[in-house]
Structure 1
Amino acid sequence: MSARPSARRSRTLAAATLVAVTAGAVLVPTAAFADAPAPAGTLPLVATLEANAGQAPLTRGGNGAELTMTVTNNSDQEQPFHPAVTVKPVGSAPTGWTWIDFSAKAISAPATYGLRSWGAGNSFSGYVLPENSMYFVPFKVPAHTTYSWAVSFKLKAALPADDTAVEVGLVNDQNDSTNSGPVTLPVASPTGALVQSFSNVSGGVSFTKPFETDLRLTNNGAAIGSTINPTLRFGDGSRPVPADLKLDVLQGGQWVTVPGSGSVWQLPPVVGGLGQGATQHYNVRLSLTGFSGPGSYFSDSLGLVPDTDQGPVDTTVKATLSVDGSPVL
């Protein structure tokens, strides 16, 4: 008697997802928090995200946003809840991930932490997660229970100058909650929202090879009308640098050595200041002229001193420079 195949076969769909966690941030699939159609009927959870009373306009490098996230389980069974707070700038899309800080903590909920995450198109979302859990672990909300959290974020100088507001939303990828609508918060432009960036964020210098990069100083705040005097430094100033370095800046098509000592150099001034969204470019070249050791190799960071005579400079992203002091044979 021959075997008869079943009319119904089970099918399994396998998907592989690559997740990279670096410096408190997690790279997630683009669609991790994409909107999905809600199932028919009443959802068991009701989730809201609201700005706290008295919320002032946000400022780059200053006043941030304080919000309260709440979820209520109206069902008779425990329910999963895996929320994220999305922040979408109203204006230019930022080109990196240094424009926002994010945190979360429990008010009346299990111990909690916030984890930065992102997808395609420079979209930002911050996971709100049970403490010491991986990014995919949801909260378990008991029946007829309300949990609440304090979530906050701060905008940094790297947010482009034409972003005058941010739209803040709540997403739950378990698709078992109704979610409150987005909240739009205005962004003010204080004077002096300066941020540095480099065309080369890593490289090396030796007795036979200099290091070159384009250093950019951008003002993402209100216009600055006075001269800005930026200072460049190799290392953080906490210990002597065992290398003698010479700094040249390209001016009028010629490399010009700028004054400095102890791996600190005064760059040419930005005469007249910087308008809103304007950038000052410095093509810089570092050359190794002496090495004291110990050893013959070390690395450190290159960046502006984090304040000028016109206010603070966001120096989060620096250039990493390796120094090879091996003698030339």
Structure 2
Amino acid sequence: MSARTAVRRPALAAGATALVAAVAGTVLMQPAAYAVPAADGGTLKITMGAPVPNTPLTRGGAASTFELTVTNPSDKAAPFHPWIHGLPAGPSRLRSQDVSFKVEAVDAPATDAAVGQQDGGWQGLFHPRGKKIGDGFEVPAQGKLSWKVTVGLGKDYPTNNGDLKMEASTYARELAPGGGASLTFTTDPAVKAGKFTTAFDPATPCEGSTDTDCRELNLKYRADGEGTFDTELATFLRIGGPKPADTDGLEVRARVDGTWRQLKGESGNFELPRTGKGFGAASGERSVRLQVKLGPKAKPAQRTEFDVAAEFGHAEGNKVPFASAVTKIQLAAAAPASPSPSPTPKASTSASASPSPSPSTTATATATAATTTTTTTTTGGSSGSLAATGADSRTGLFAALSAALIAAGGGAAWLGARRRKATQS
């Protein structure tokens, strides 16, 4: 370990401890000064007064104000990290500008407010002025703190979202059981909020194929209710196998305008063609045909089960998915194709078709060499490759030379026999 690393690690550990302490609400005072939380929660209770004016909210129109009060009935001071969660009726995700949010201290320290979007939700946070977001308040023993909270709709509040519910709580388990509170603001014009639903049909073999290395899916989706989505919809296909490497080399195609189109992606993540802005109930049910295939570089060597998920989200703004469909498929490498039978060649007889009146070393060698060469170069099939016997392009040459030597040896033996016979006579 380098000296620089050794010095840096304690600093990182201290920073991490400070961050955890800030989230837990222990940076403003010693833990002993806090009330001990009950086993099933804290000790605080929140109430929310009636909004003024108590009329429906309009997009880009007047806001409403209500009073939020937190009470501590215990005998010790208690930390309070307020958190208001905005829950719209309807399928669209909220962006930070879709809901205006203002907090003013009434019987509390000076306060700053901010809007967060953790996990795709709309969240109103407030904290002591001059402190960091995440720092909390101290509620005195047997005391309370109160604020005026003002909420309104932005001009681009989604048209397919209706009433807005505001839930007040904390993010540090500081409330007594049932200690939260909520208000629901109606909207004008009133919207009959619907849902976005999506599902996969059962997987089938790919079009025009029965191989096990490809499966075809049909992804369906639709929206009901009033209004439309005000952005394009992005759809991502997430594929996971038993091991991360199992998704390497997977290929995904989508049927677009009657043609199969290869989708870009890696590590099992692929973006499908987008759905145009303005999708709603009048658009009817849509579907996307997909093919998932083991490509040439795919890892699985045996049948493998994959989890497949399609996630829908806004293509811009708050992109956290708002709907998903899941299914499973099994893929296995395709069986190797059976080799087509190759015709068995006949040995050449052209050399022996014209017999010589006397033994000829040259003729015999030529005939034997031609037969051996032809047989060797055609046993691998019609492609012209050699048979899988260890032979290569030099085998024919060696066979021809061997045949010539054998023939020459036979001629020498015949001449020797004639000489011995002549001598004996």
Shorter-chain TM-score: what band? 0.3 to 0.5
Per residue, is there more strand in 1 or in 2?
1
Higher relative contact order (CA closer than 8 Å, sequence separation 6+): 1
Look at both structures and tell me which one has the larger radius of gyration over its CA atoms.
Answer: 2
- Normalising by structure 2, we get a TM-score of 0.35
Larger helix percent: 2
TM-score (norm: length of structure 1) = 0.45
